[in-house]
Amino acid sequence: MPSAKPLAITGYSVLNALGASREAVLDALAAGRTGLAPATLPLPFETAAGAVTAALPELPAALAPWSTKVARMAAHLVAGIEPALAKARERWRPERIAVLMGTSTAGAEATEQAYKTYVEEGALPADYDFRRQHTYGAVLHVVGELAGARGPAWMVSTACTSSAKPFASAQRLIAAGLIDAAIVGGIDTLCAMTLQGFHSLGALDSRPCRPFSTERAGISIGEGGALVLVERDGDARALVEGVGESSDAYHISAPHPEGQGATDAMARALAQAGVAPGDIDHVNAHGTGTRLNDTAEAKAIAGLFGGDVPVVSTKGYTGHTLGAAGATEVAMALFAIEEGFVPASLGAEDKDPAIALTIPTATTRGRFRRVLSNSFAFGGNNVSVIVRGV
Partner 1 sequence: MNAIHTIITGVGVFAAGFANAGAWSAGAPDATVEAPTGEALDKRSRRRASRLTRALSDVVAEAAAQAGADLSVVPTVFGSALGEADTMIGLLDTMWREKAALSPTSFAMSVHNAASGLISIAAGNRGFTTSLAADYDTPGTALLEAVGLALADDLPVVVACADEAAPRDLVPDAERFELLAVALVLARPGSPAAANALATMRGPVFEAPTIVGAPARDELARNPQIGLLDVVDAVLRGRSGVVRLDRGRGRGLAVELGAP
For residues 118 and 341, which CB has a smaller minimum distance to partner 1 in the complex?
118
Nearest to 219 by CA among 108, 325, 374: 325
What is the smallest separation between the CB atom of 322 and partner 1, expressed in angstroms? 10
> What residues between 147 and 166 interact with partner 1 by CB under 8 A?
151-159, 165
Contacts of 147 (CB under 8 A, 6+ apart): 78, 81, 85, 97, 99, 183
Coil, helix or strand at residue 172: helix
For residues 242 and 380, which CB has a smaller minimum distance to partner 1 in the complex?
380
* 260 touching partner 1, by CB under 8 A: yes
Q: Is there a contact between 356 and 298 (Cβ–Cβ < 8 Å)?
A: yes
* 104 touching partner 1, by CB under 8 A: yes
HSE on the CB side for 33, CA within 13 Å? 10
Q: Is 141 a catalytic residue?
A: no
Site string for partner 1, 198-237 (x = CB under 8 A): xxxxx-----------------------------------
* 55 touching partner 1, by CB under 8 A: no
For residues 106 and 302, which CB has a smaller minimum distance to partner 1 in the complex?
106
Site string for partner 1, 263-292 (x = CB under 8 A): -x----------------------------
Choose one: 5-13, 73-81, 137-145, 206-214; the region binding partner 1 (CB under 8 A). Answer: 137-145
Q: Is 286 a catalytic residue?
A: yes
For residue 84, how far is the Cα from the chain centroid?
20
Choose one: 14-22, 69-77, 136-144, 220-228; the region binding partner 1 (CB under 8 A). Answer: 136-144
HSE on the CB side for 341, CA within 13 Å? 16
Site string for partner 1, 25-44 (x = CB under 8 A): -------------------x
Q: Is 76 a catalytic residue?
A: no
Q: Is there a contact between 313 and 211 (Cβ–Cβ < 8 Å)?
A: yes
State the Cα–Cα distance between residues 196 and 56, nearest whole angstrom.
Answer: 26
State how far the alpha carbon of 74 is from the alpha carbons of 14, 222, 231, in Å: 10, 16, 20
State the Cα–Cα distance between residues 205 and 209, nearest whole angstrom.
Answer: 6
Of 34, 169, 189, 288, which one interacts with partner 1 (CB under 8 A)? 169
State the Cα–Cα distance between residues 1 and 33, nearest whole angstrom.
Answer: 40
State the Cα–Cα distance between residues 307 and 38, nearest whole angstrom.
Answer: 34
State the Cα–Cα distance between residues 157 and 166, nearest whole angstrom.
Answer: 10
Residues that bind partner 1 (CB under 8 A): 44, 95-96, 104, 106, 108, 111-112, 114-116, 118-120, 124, 130-131, 134-138, 140-141, 151-159, 165, 169, 172-173, 175-179, 192-193, 196-202, 245-253, 260-261, 264, 377-381
